[in-house]
């Protein structure tokens, strides 16, 4: 029997919750000596006018040859995705703005940070805006790097009590559950990279246990100013706190020099599959490759506003516009989404599309590759409904050669996982960004991406998406006549079928099944 509003079971819940919150609040109050300090925060903005020379000048000149349009190039390979970021850092003349959900102090993270520091040494203003989700025990070291006069670091939506993160998260779940999932790098307000990749080894083929298939987009022209405006909104928001507020004493340049030596000493060049000391000609070639690949077309920035995260701007949520674009498809929708959890409205939209003859296809993670079991459980729970609605569903194989061919030599035994967030509508409109097709991206986190209106650019991305669903790279998921889920793929030239999640242990399948029973879908 379900409890009624007046039953003892319902009445005791708020009492227990209130008591728990009181205990947690008391613990936090008692620990006030380790909370972050309020520090002055000077507003700043993106560069008003891009340089007329150098790499920025090159792309600005190209934009003038395509009035009213912006340039777009897909970055699918690990090497091109990383060296493109290094090139932006090395060719910057005046400003670099970087905004990321995760930035790990590993080979990739330390190497890119070093190039950004070198830019600061040349006089470039560097602004780092990082989410606090992965920022544990790094306050002091990061503050020392920020002692450089041309480097500023702000942490988004931070835990106030730095040494009681778990306790504070439970006590202040409503605020701390909302994360900045954006991934942006902008050079001189003239060239930008947006996409799914965080800054960590596993997003560029260096992970020993797993590596992610992912996709970025390089952009130039007027749309970059719109991207920079979103950066400035979050940078100057009440949620962005200067790193100096997290340390008892503000470091000086001596501290910076000591920390820089440690940073460079921790870079392990033997683990790096791309040349560490790229010469100017090599990086110049990377810039020219982007320029040659660029398609000039109409585009728009889809993003969540800072106020929408606080519940004050319902029109500032990007998922509404993205859903309407998908719902209006006439011929096809091709999706690649790491965490794919359609709710009732999404399943119904799929049904309506397929009934109109629109082909809808999705590639997402398999249980064997997904690094977030809870998200996989959400997909598992909804998968039969999605299949019955007429969608073609594929799941990336952990041994996908499309991914393993791009990893470092020492990582060839790693498993392949999916982290892409992209879709193509009617071979004419393309979205690439940070937005997963799941409730968390739709309702909780902030997200950003680009919607490009171009058949030529759609062709670039469709080639990437089509590669992912080839039989050697993905399982085709279907339902048999009795509604049981089947997985089919090509193995050693022969077609093989599984009746449970392939390449998984009983324990992993049991945990996945258990999590499908939990009422947590709105958090996934």
Same domain, 316 and 354: yes
Pick the last residue of a domain from 274, 293, 312.
293
- pLDDT for the residue 11: 32
Quick check: is 238 in a domain? yes
Helix axes 107-121, 78-91, angle to 10 degrees: 20
Q: What is the pLDDT of residue 522?
A: 86
Within this chain, do residues 212 and 361 fall inside the same structural domain, yes or no? no
Residue 370: predicted pLDDT: 87
In a domain, 4, yes or no: no
pLDDT tens-digit profile of 186-242?
999 999 999 999 999 999 999 999 999 999 999 999 999 999 999 999 999 999 999
From first CA to last CA, the distance across the chain in angstroms is 28
Residues 278 and 325 in one domain: no
Q: What are phi and psi of 243, to 5 degrees?
A: -60, -25
- Consecutive H or E run containing 496: strand 494-498
Report the CATH number that the domain containing residue 185 is assigned in CATH. Answer: 3.30.870.10
Say if residue 264 is in the same domain as residue 340. Answer: no
| Domain-located, residue 52 | no
Given this model, what pLDDT does residue 34 score?
Answer: 58
Name the 3-class secondary structure at 340. coil
Same domain, yes or no: 417 and 460: yes
Measured CA to CA in angstroms, residue 220 lies from 83, 125, 197, 364, 417 at distances of 17, 20, 19, 29, 30
Per-position pLDDT tens, the chain of length 524:
223 233 323 333 344 444 455 555 555 544 444 578 889 899 999 999 999 999 999 999 999 999 999 999 999 999 999 999 999 999 999 999 999 999 999 999 999 999 999 999 999 999 999 999 989 899 999 999 999 999 999 999 999 999 899 999 999 999 999 999 999 999 999 999 999 999 999 999 999 999 999 999 999 999 999 999 999 999 999 999 999 999 999 999 999 999 999 999 999 888 877 765 556 678 888 999 999 999 999 999 999 999 998 888 877 889 999 999 999 999 999 999 999 999 999 999 999 999 999 999 999 999 998 888 888 999 999 999 999 999 999 999 999 999 888 898 888 889 999 999 999 999 999 999 999 999 999 999 999 999 999 999 999 999 999 999 999 999 999 999 999 999 999 888 889 999 999 999 999 999 999 999 988 888 98
**Integer Cα distance of 189 and 282 in angstroms:** 23
Report the number of distinct structural domains present in the chain.
2
Domain that holds residue 421: 301-523
Same domain assignment for residues 157 and 231: yes
Same domain, 515 and 367: yes
Catalytic residues: 181, 183, 188, 419, 421, 426
C-alpha distance from residue 189 to each of 55, 56, 95, 222, 296 (Å) = 11, 8, 7, 9, 17
The residue from 238, 271, 293 where one domain ends is 293
Evaluate whether 432 touches 461 at the Cβ level (below 8 Å). yes
The sign of the CA dihedral 76, 79, 80, 84 is positive
Q: What is the pLDDT of residue 19?
A: 47
Residue 27 forms part of a structural domain: no
Q: Which residues of 277-311 are buried (b: 16+ CB within 10 A; e: fewer)?
A: ebeeeebeebbebbbebbbbbebebbbbbbebbee
Distance, CA of 290 to CA of 32 (rounded, Å): 50
Rounded Cα distance between 161 and 168, Å, is 7
Domain final residue pick, 228, 263, 293: 293
| pLDDT score of 9 | 30
| 5 belongs to a structural domain | no
Q: What is the pLDDT of residues 88-125, one digit of tens each?
A: 999 999 999 999 999 999 999 999 999 999 999 999 99
Residues 115 and 166 in one domain: yes
Q: What percent of the chain has pLDDT over 90?
A: 80
* 464 assigned to some structural domain: yes
Q: Do 353 and 496 fall into the same domain?
A: yes
Torsion of CA 291, 292, 295, 296, to 10 degrees: 60
Same domain, 306 and 226: no
What lies within 8 Å, CB to CB, of 313 at 6+ separation is 305, 307
pLDDT of residue 451: 98
83 vs 359: CA distance, rounded Å: 36
Q: Does the residue 192 lie in any domain?
A: yes
pTM exceeds 0.95: no
Quote the pLDDT of residue 33: 45
Contact 398, 416 (CB under 8 A): yes
* Residue 266 and residue 321 in one domain: no
DSSP bridge pairs for 296: 71
Beta bridge partners of 365: 396
Same-domain check for residues 249 and 317? no
Residue 25 lies in a domain: no
């Amino acid at each position: 029997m379900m409890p009624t509003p007046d039953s003892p079971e319902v009445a005791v819940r708020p009492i227990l919750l209130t008591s728990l919150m009181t205990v947690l609040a008391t613990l936090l109050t008692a620990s006030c000596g380790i909370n972050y300090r309020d520090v002055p925060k000077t507003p700043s903005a993106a560069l008003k006018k891009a340089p007329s020379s150098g790499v920025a000048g090159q792309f600005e000149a190209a934009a003038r040859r395509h009035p009213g349009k912006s340039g777009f190039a897909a970055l699918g390979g690990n090497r091109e995705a990383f060296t493109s970021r290094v090139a932006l850092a090395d060719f910057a003349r005046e400003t670099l703005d970087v905004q990321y959900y995760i930035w790990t102090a590993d080979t990739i993270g330390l190497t890119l940070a070093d190039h950004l520091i070198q830019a600061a040494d040349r006089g470039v203003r560097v602004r780092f805006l990082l989410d606090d989700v992965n920022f544990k025990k790094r306050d002091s070291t990061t503050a020392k790097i920020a002692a450089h006069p041309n480097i500023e670091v702000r942490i988004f939506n931070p835990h106030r009590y730095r040494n009681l993160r778990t306790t504070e998260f439970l006590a202040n779940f409503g605020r701390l559950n909302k994360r900045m999932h954006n991934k942006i790098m902008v050079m001189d307000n003239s060239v930008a990279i947006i996409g799914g990749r965080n800054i960590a080894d596993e997003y560029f083929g260096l992970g020993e246990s797993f590596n992610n298939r992912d996709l970025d987009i390089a952009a130039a022209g007027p749309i970059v100013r719109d991207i920079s405006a979103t950066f400035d909104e979050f940078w100057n928001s009440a949620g962005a706190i200067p790193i100096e507020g997290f340390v008892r004493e503000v470091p000086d340049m001596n501290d910076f020099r000591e920390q820089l030596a440690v940073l460079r000493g921790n870079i392990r060049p033997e683990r790096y599959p791309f040349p560490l000391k790229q010469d100017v000609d090599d990086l110049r070639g990377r810039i020219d490759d982007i320029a040659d690949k660029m398609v000039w077309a109409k585009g728009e920035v889809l993003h969540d506003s800072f106020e929408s995260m606080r519940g004050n701007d319902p029109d500032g949520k990007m998922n509404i516009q993205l859903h309407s674009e998908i719902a209006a498809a006439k011929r096809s929708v091709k999706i690649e989404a790491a965490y794919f959890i359609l709710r009732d409205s999404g399943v119904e939209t799929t049904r309506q599309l397929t009934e109109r003859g629109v082909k809808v296809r999705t590639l997402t993670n398999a249980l064997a590759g997904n690094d977030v079991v809870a998200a996989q459980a959400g997909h598992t729970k909804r998968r039969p409904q999605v299949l019955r609605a007429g969608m073609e569903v594929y799941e990336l194989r952990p041994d996908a050669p499309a991914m393993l061919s791009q990893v470092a030599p020492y990582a060839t035994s790693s498993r392949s996982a999916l982290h892409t967030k992209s879709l193509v509508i009617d071979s004419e409109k393309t979205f690439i960004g940070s937005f997963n097709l799941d409730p968390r991206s739709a309702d909780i986190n902030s997200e950003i991406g680009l919607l490009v209106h171009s058949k030529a650019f759609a062709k670039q991305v469709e080639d990437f998406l089509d590669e992912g669903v080839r039989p050697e790279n993905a399982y085709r998921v279907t339902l048999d006549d009795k509604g049981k889920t089947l997985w089919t793929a090509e193995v050693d030239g022969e077609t093989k079928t599984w009746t449970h999640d392939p390449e998984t242990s009983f324990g992993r399948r049991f945990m996945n099944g258990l999590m499908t029973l939990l009422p947590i879908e709105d958090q996934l």
